[in-house]
Structure 1
Amino acid sequence: MGNCLVNEGVSIFVILAWLGINAFLFVHFYFVYDDGLKFYYTRELVGPALAWARAPAACLNFNCMLILLPVCRNLLSFVRGTCGCCRRTLRRQLDKNITFHKLVAYMIVLHTAIHIIAHLFNVERFMDCQLGEKGELNAVLSELGVGGGYLNPVRNKDMNPTKVVFVTVAGLSGVAITLALILMITSSTETVRRQYFEVFWYTHHLFVVFFAGLVIHGIGQIVRGQTEASLKEHNITYCKDKYSQWGIDPQCPKPIFSGNPPMTWKWVVGPMALYVCEIFVRFWRSQQKIVITKVVIHPSKVLELQMKKRGFKMEVGQYIFVQCSKISSLEWHPFTLTSSPEEDHFSIHVRRVGDWSDSLFKVCGGDQKEFREAWKLPSIAVDGPFGTASEDVLLYETAVLVGAGIGVTPFASVLKSVWYKYTHSDPNLKLKKIYFYWLCRETSAFEWFADLLQSLESQMLERGNSNFLSYNIYLTGWDENQATHFAMHHEAQTDVITGLKQKTLYGRPNWDVEFGNIASNHPSTNVGVFLCGPASLAKVLNRMSSAHSSGDPRGVHFIFNKENF
């Protein structure tokens, strides 16, 4: 347990605090509506469904306040990178912003479902009370407030319940909120995002409808309680059983009711203002001129764009959002920077795997063999750079870098920059040892990145610093013909796939052995473990980091970090 707290202690605390606030709000407001005198007569009409509708509404206000903050990437980048008080532990939590965003979204879905179901019961009870026998308490309550101050929003027996649900302000806004939420959640699944990113992108912008609906949802004031003045004049304990004498007995005047004023806007106005500022910053950045200085077509359908922008400053492992107006004026896609801060340009590598990346490949001349003039290249807009987990590689003496497929891109920037600092004896360089693992399914996936590794390998050999970087390349998929070819060239000095002196390994790493060896080589060290890859691999590495971390504060500790954007 102690080892697990090294990696997840702060995250667990944050999640428990968030869950605790949700639980407090739910329980507090449940009893306010289930036990408070103000809503005594409201409960007489609708029963316990009142509390079940209002308690999740309070939780919805809280979570809707939080949902936008994790996606204000410029705000997070400021807190993460420019605020001097932002320690490494806090930065690791900021790197999990998308995970927290998803958790908050799931909580919103849960409370929305409870809220809707409870209110459907409430509408049914309102209708039943209006149709009740004259003289009963529910019927008397339903008839109150002919000139105002009513309790039952169903004002006559002929009202259609469908009209009550769908034509009122609360009903219409509720339907809009629910439909927007359903579309955003269903289009956010991993399958949709990977195969139909444009669907996810456009439907996610329904958050505008969602928040507009939230702000106006309470204007109708459907849920009503007794006014403070009426509570003083109308003693519920004395008058509740004398409803036939209300207005006749001077001690029991007719109760007067009023609706709850809208409260949601008070919760969400701050985050909404921050997000509007975020949009303005993004727009301002998108107007700054970007010059594409070089386009390189690599094997395995990988496009490299080298660009320049006035005032652009980056750190290792950061990423940018890219928009190409010739493809879409609305879509922005994240890409890790593969250049180092020491280079005079910044670059990204784009793998041709989807509609947008395929279109970018074509408009940049990837399908053409002849040279293309710079003025014919498309206009590119860039937002960023933004900090990620890989930015913290330089904070450790020992680092383990794990990339899967195209997930190796952040480490291109890291390896370039670290080697530059290392060869120039940068006194601020803390990093002394790198363990690099790259896992790919196909041999062709190695081709575009192998040039960088070959360059690093030859430079390390020339300087006699071959121990600085230990790299292991794994091919996780191959066929029978490839296996035969590999076996025939096994004795060659360089690897048949990558051209490196370090031979490619086949299968998957034995992480238990790898972590054990690193732990024995670096006792009393904090080892940073960085992954850009699938969630399944993240679970394994996170588990290994906890299992091989020492319970002794003076021992070795593996600190797990994962790219999220």
Structure 2
Amino acid sequence: MLAQLRRRAQIYWRLEGPKFVCAAVWLALVAWWFATNWIRFTNMKGVVALFGYWVPFAKGCANVVMFTSMFLFLLVCRTTLTKLRSVRWLHWVPINKHLVWHRWCAYIFLAASAGHTICHCLGTFPTLANDPRARAALKLPPVSQVYLHFISVPGWTGWALVVLLAALAGTSAVAVRRKRYELFWYTHHLFVPIVALLALHGTAALLGPPQAWKYLAVPVALYAIERMLRVHRASWPVRIQAAAVQADTLELVLDRPPFVTHYVPGQYVFLQVPSISPWQWHPISLTSTDADPFLTVRIKKLGDWSHALTQLVEPALVLEDAEAEADKVDAKFNGGKSVVGTVQPPSRQTTAGTADLDATTLLAAPPAAHLREVSGASTARSSLTVSDASLPDSAAGIKTDGGPPVPVLATPRPMSRYMISATGTVKPLAVGTTVDTARRAQRAALALQSIDVRVDGVFGAPSQDFVDHDHIVFIATGVGATPFLAILKDIERQVLAARAPARRSVLFPTSPTTAAHAPTAPPRRVDFYWLNRDQAGFQWMAAALGAVDRRVLRDVVRVHAFLTGARGGQATLSSFLLWWGLALAKRRGAAGKCLLTGVRDSSVSWGRPHWPTIFRQTAALFPGKKVGVFVCGPKQLAREVYEVVREVAAEVVDDGTVFAFAKENF
């Protein structure tokens, strides 16, 4: 029993020790700051005799308010905190928890503010209004409580602070942040008048000289410098090079601004779209790596801002799809001329539902009646090239900037268009596409790039510490997988570079930052557990994993997808049927491969994972190794996984296996 308790205490200290040390030191400083003012005013002649202990307690609370206000600003200086991550002797400090510390500082700030207000309302102000001796001691004329509360500088500034702090704290609740992030963002900028009121609150110097400026000067100046850096970075307009709406997510490929010189996979940026709001900045994880010449993000359509961004991008995507259609047709023929034609059906018609990703269902040959009669041309030919010279004058084309007139179709009726891929497969294009649409689609790139996006960052995140572990376990729900996708890309680059050392300098260049953070060898193994509710997420995840080299997925990475169907009812039934179909396809139609990743050692399961079994197997496979567990998902999932990690780590502590746990926080 004692040995088991010792092991549990050892693991708990290993996982939580730094946090408790920092918390103990910080709370000791808070207590000391309170005690200094309490002792000072208690010993001040006549204060306790006239005001009782109301004034010492109020002044002690005021000291705590000033002290915690410093940390409220310092803990959101993200650029500074990102730099501090590279300081070795600060590795034991839980910088990953900076937003948690920010919230706890806010709680103590609000509690001390409430204590300060109550003491003045119940003790100081009534005494000043009713006791001539107290007024004489402070050299005040006869005053009423109404004057003290709402006209005097300490009174009206105090009540203004109460109102502003109540609004800021109320909109900082988790429910508000998730559903109305914009409201949370705007009300958080009430810190500007709050700082001004704090500095003004003590200028009456009734019980001592003003102190607020001594506490706020440095942290507010540092925060202001970081905000000015954001303004400077926002002066660089970033264009959207490509975009895709996949299920309930929006993927953007952005220009890489010049100030993003290096970054580590797993980090994040802030995005702003001035046409939606010139004030809102939203934290988004990067899915690209430092080796990429661009920045890629994936945004879940949740909330007003993300829906507005999707609505802004979608019209350009319609044109982009039409442009891609025209490009595929033009690429088949010399000269890059616009082509509208018919093809004979292939001898073997492809069918829907095959595992071949290039297979397409052939519906019908395009009706020749939908094409204008062109002299000397026959619709029975395998293709029909329409040039400007072959059209009569009445069929004037559409003029475009820098290009010849584009011919139009004879009728506006829908038409099935076909193209021939490089492999010879006949593919139908979108029904209803006209040559006019294809020509207009040449402006798609300009339409997409005209959307102005601003970037601030890059900022540190917990998952960037994946390089410190031999075995990595990623756990994510839904779009929470985005930081881990960037890490998978970086691991892919490391694995391929390690297999071709002679060509590394040419084919696999490594940036200085990536080289500094990368281990001497790629991780031995990565287990990626992805929990998803419906088919929508399955679609974009399959596309994302499809870009990862199959050799890396086979040798290093194991992907384990779980279709949870947690919402019940029809959603649960749909997810079960989807899993059942995937299981049948894996057994019978896909040579035993997972359709999500295309490799054998990955799987798709229905239901929720049993974490104790998973981590015990992990500990058995990697005895004496460092296992890093990274979670990006709901707080309930993180708490559940953390409890299991702590329990399993206590069981295998004698084997030398070390577990580390981290949760993403923005």
Structure 1 residues 126 and 414: alpha-carbon distance in aligned structure 2, compared to 1, 3 A threshold: same
Amino acid at match of 1:561: A
In the TM superposition, residue 508 of structure 1 has moved relative to its aligned partner by 1.2
From 442, 445, 461, the equivalent of 1:374 is 445
Kindly provide the CA deviation profile for residues 400-448 of structure 1, in whole angstroms up to 9, marking residues without a partner as x.
Answer: 1111111000011000110111121078334211011001122211211
In the alignment, the residues of structure 2 paired with residue 70 and residue 117 of structure 1 have an alpha-carbon distance, to the nearest angstrom, of 28
Match of 2:661 in 1: 560
Kindly provide the CA deviation profile for residues 23-59 of structure 1, in whole angstroms up to 9, marking residues without a partner as x.
Answer: 222233223223x0x2x32222221211221111111
Structure 1 residues 305 and 143: alpha-carbon distance in aligned structure 2, compared to 1, 3 A threshold: closer
Kindly provide the CA deviation profile for residues 301-340 of structure 1, in whole angstroms up to 9, marking residues without a partner as x.
Answer: 4333333323523211110001111111111111000012
Amino acid at match of 1:544: V
Match of 1:508 in 2: 608
Match of 1:439 in 2: 531
In the alignment, the residues of structure 1 paired with residue 581 and residue 524 of structure 2 have an alpha-carbon distance, to the nearest angstrom, of 37
Match of 2:221 in 1: 273
Match of 2:354 in 1: none
Contact 1:403 1:437 in 2 (8 A): yes
List aligned pairs for 1:161-200, cutoff 5 A. 161-200=145-184
In the alignment, the residues of structure 1 paired with residue 630 and residue 258 of structure 2 have an alpha-carbon distance, to the nearest angstrom, of 31
Match of 1:487 in 2: 580
SS at match of 1:289: coil
In the alignment, the residues of structure 2 paired with residue 180 and residue 332 of structure 1 have an alpha-carbon distance, to the nearest angstrom, of 22
In the TM superposition, residue 264 of structure 1 has moved relative to its aligned partner by 1.5
Amino acid at match of 1:448: W
Over the matched positions of the two proteins, sequence identity in percent amounts to: 27
Kindly provide the CA deviation profile for residues 99-125 of structure 1, in whole angstroms up to 9, marking residues without a partner as x.
Answer: 000000000010011100000121112
Kindly provide the CA deviation profile for residues 435-482 of structure 1, in whole angstroms up to 9, marking residues without a partner as x.
Answer: 11001122211211212323437334xxxx724112211111143355
2:597 counterpart of 1:524? no
Match of 1:26 in 2: 34
Kindly provide the CA deviation profile for residues 471-514 of structure 1, in whole angstroms up to 9, marking residues without a partner as x.
Answer: 21111114335534543553322589737453311221111111
Please report the TM-score for the alignment, with normalisation by the length of structure 1: 0.84
From 121, 124, 127, the equivalent of 1:125 is 127
Question: Which of 496-505 and 390-399 deviates more?
Answer: 496-505
Question: Which of 280-289 and 403-412 deviates more?
Answer: 280-289
2:596 counterpart of 1:498? yes
Contact 2:266 2:285 in 1 (8 A): yes
SS at match of 2:318: coil
List aligned pairs for 1:62-211, cutoff 5 A. 62-81=67-86, 83=87, 85=88, 88-90=91-93, 93-121=94-122, 122-130=124-132, 141-142=133-134, 144=136, 150-151=137-138, 153=140, 155-156=141-142, 159-211=143-195
Kindly provide the CA deviation profile for residues 47-101 of structure 1, in whole angstroms up to 9, marking residues without a partner as x.
Answer: 12112211111111111111100111111112224x4x355433xx111111000
Question: Which of 326-335 and 15-24 deviates more?
Answer: 15-24
In the alignment, the residues of structure 2 paired with residue 308 and residue 317 of structure 1 have an alpha-carbon distance, to the nearest angstrom, of 16
In the alignment, the residues of structure 2 paired with residue 143 and residue 162 of structure 1 have an alpha-carbon distance, to the nearest angstrom, of 15
In the alignment, the residues of structure 2 paired with residue 468 and residue 435 of structure 1 have an alpha-carbon distance, to the nearest angstrom, of 9
Contact 1:395 1:430 in 2 (8 A): no
In the alignment, the residues of structure 2 paired with residue 466 and residue 479 of structure 1 have an alpha-carbon distance, to the nearest angstrom, of 30
From 373, 379, 384, the equivalent of 2:457 is 384
Contact 1:61 1:267 in 2 (8 A): yes
Structure 1 residues 283 and 384: alpha-carbon distance in aligned structure 2, compared to 1, 3 A threshold: same
2:401 counterpart of 1:308? no
Contact 1:297 1:366 in 2 (8 A): no
In the TM superposition, residue 349 of structure 1 has moved relative to its aligned partner by 0.7
2:231 counterpart of 1:283? yes
Unmatched runs of 5 consecutive residues or more in structure 1? 131-140, 145-149, 224-259
In the TM superposition, residue 279 of structure 1 has moved relative to its aligned partner by 1.2
Question: Which of 121-130 and 102-111 deviates more?
Answer: 121-130
In the TM superposition, residue 554 of structure 1 has moved relative to its aligned partner by 6.5
Match of 1:401 in 2: 474
Unmatched runs of 5 consecutive residues or more in structure 2? 1-8, 321-442, 502-518, 566-570
In the alignment, the residues of structure 2 paired with residue 366 and residue 416 of structure 1 have an alpha-carbon distance, to the nearest angstrom, of 30
In the alignment, the residues of structure 2 paired with residue 347 and residue 330 of structure 1 have an alpha-carbon distance, to the nearest angstrom, of 22
Match of 1:535 in 2: 635
In the alignment, the residues of structure 2 paired with residue 480 and residue 452 of structure 1 have an alpha-carbon distance, to the nearest angstrom, of 25
In the alignment, the residues of structure 2 paired with residue 73 and residue 50 of structure 1 have an alpha-carbon distance, to the nearest angstrom, of 37
From 444, 460, 483, the equivalent of 1:410 is 483
Match of 1:261 in 2: 209
Contact 2:545 2:597 in 1 (8 A): no
Match of 1:475 in 2: 563
From 509, 515, 521, the equivalent of 1:429 is 521
SS at match of 2:287: coil
Match of 1:339 in 2: 288
Match of 1:450 in 2: 542
Kindly provide the CA deviation profile for residues 195-231 of structure 1, in whole angstroms up to 9, marking residues without a partner as x.
Answer: 11111111100001111111111111222xxxxxxxx
Amino acid at match of 1:119: H
**What is the aligned length?**
500
In the alignment, the residues of structure 1 paired with residue 613 and residue 564 of structure 2 have an alpha-carbon distance, to the nearest angstrom, of 18
In the alignment, the residues of structure 1 paired with residue 572 and residue 653 of structure 2 have an alpha-carbon distance, to the nearest angstrom, of 46
In the alignment, the residues of structure 2 paired with residue 95 and residue 555 of structure 1 have an alpha-carbon distance, to the nearest angstrom, of 25
Match of 2:271 in 1: 322
Please report the TM-score for the alignment, with normalisation by the length of structure 2: 0.72
Question: Which of 166-175 and 20-29 deviates more?
Answer: 20-29
SS at match of 1:424: helix
List aligned pairs for 1:226-245, cutoff 5 A. none
Structure 1 residues 160 and 351: alpha-carbon distance in aligned structure 2, compared to 1, 3 A threshold: same
Give the number of the structure whose alpha-carbon radius of gyration is greater: 2
Structure 1 residues 42 and 391: alpha-carbon distance in aligned structure 2, compared to 1, 3 A threshold: same
In the alignment, the residues of structure 2 paired with residue 299 and residue 142 of structure 1 have an alpha-carbon distance, to the nearest angstrom, of 70
Structure 1 residues 500 and 413: alpha-carbon distance in aligned structure 2, compared to 1, 3 A threshold: same
Question: Which of 356-365 and 308-317 deviates more?
Answer: 308-317
Amino acid at match of 2:264: E
In the alignment, the residues of structure 2 paired with residue 269 and residue 170 of structure 1 have an alpha-carbon distance, to the nearest angstrom, of 20
